[in-house]
């Protein structure tokens, strides 16, 4: 009986070791594939100012229309694929840019209880290793901050 228990424990250890090494290999392969993605915004700044009036233009346009948002270093031109009023205080817009290889700019506008407005958003493309996240600046206003989407997004 002691030999059977020892054999069972040995089998469990071998299975656990094999499973964990398989996961490590899978993670290494995923990391190698991810690192091969190029950067769509490699020539753009790390931090791009975004004026509120440009962001707000997205919420006044209708679904299906073309829109061009001007940022300091580049323009984002695309078609509004979705425009939703989720609640009385939350609006969301999705813009798809064919000129930037179908990059998606997802933008939301929240009206706070004190009637101030907060914007959040991300500009991403699953085929590239970089993107932008809309951040509110401490001194006021907004900017697009470059992010590494290959770290944030994982393929399934």
Shared domain check, 77 and 15: no
- Is position 42 within any domain? no
| 51, part of any domain | yes
Total domains in the chain come to: 2
Give the bridge partners for 108, in sequence order. 92, 120
Range of the domain at 14: 1-36
Q: Are residues 28 and 65 in the same domain?
A: no
Q: 48: helix, coil or strand? A: strand
CA torsion sign for 87, 114, 93, 123 is negative
**Within this chain, do residues 140 and 68 fall inside the same structural domain, yes or no?**
yes
Regarding whether 55 and 131 lie in a shared domain, the answer is yes
Q: Are residues 86 and 124 in the same domain?
A: yes
Whether 51 and 117 map to the same domain: the answer is yes
Q: Which tens digits make up the pLDDT trace of 66-100?
A: 999 998 878 999 999 999 988 888 999 999 998 88
21 and 65 part of one domain: no
Cα separation values, 1 from 5, 6, 7, 14, Å: 6, 9, 10, 20
E strands present in the chain: 47-50, 66-70, 75-87, 90-97, 103-111, 117-124, 131-136, 142-147
User: Does residue 5 form part of some domain?
Assistant: yes
- 112 and 141 housed in the same domain: yes
Predicted local distance difference test score (pLDDT) of residue 122? 94
Residues 30, 69 within the same domain: no
Per-position pLDDT tens, the chain of length 156: 555 555 555 555 656 555 544 455 455 544 444 457 787 787 887 889 999 999 999 999 999 999 999 988 789 999 999 999 888 889 999 999 988 889 999 999 999 999 999 999 999 998 888 899 999 988 888 999 999 886 665 554
In a domain, 125, yes or no: yes
Determine the Cα–Cα distance for residues 67 and 79; give it in Å rounded to an integer.
Answer: 6
**Residue 3, domain member (yes or no):** yes
Q: Are residues 55 and 29 in the same domain?
A: no
pLDDT of residue 145: 92
Residues 70 and 147 placed together within one structural domain of the fold: yes
């Amino acid at each position: 009986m002691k030999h059977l228990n020892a054999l069972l424990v040995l089998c469990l250890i071998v299975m656990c070791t094999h499973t964990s090494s398989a996961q490590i290999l899978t993670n290494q392969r995923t990391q190698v594939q991810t690192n091969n993605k190029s950067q769509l915004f490699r020539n753009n700044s790390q931090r791009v100012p975004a004026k509120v009036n440009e962001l707000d233009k997205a919420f006044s346009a209708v679904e299906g229309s073309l829109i061009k948002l001007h940022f300091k270093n580049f323009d984002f031109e695309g078609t509004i694929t979705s425009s939703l009023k989720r609640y009385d205080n939350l609006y969301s817009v999705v813009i798809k840019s064919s000129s930037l290889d179908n990059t998606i700019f997802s933008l939301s506008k929240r009206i706070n209880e004190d009637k101030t407005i907060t914007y959040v958003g991300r500009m991403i493309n699953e085929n590239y290793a970089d993107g932008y996240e809309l951040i509110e600046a401490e001194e006021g206003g907004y900017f697009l901050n470059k992010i590494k989407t290959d770290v944030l997004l994982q393929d399934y």
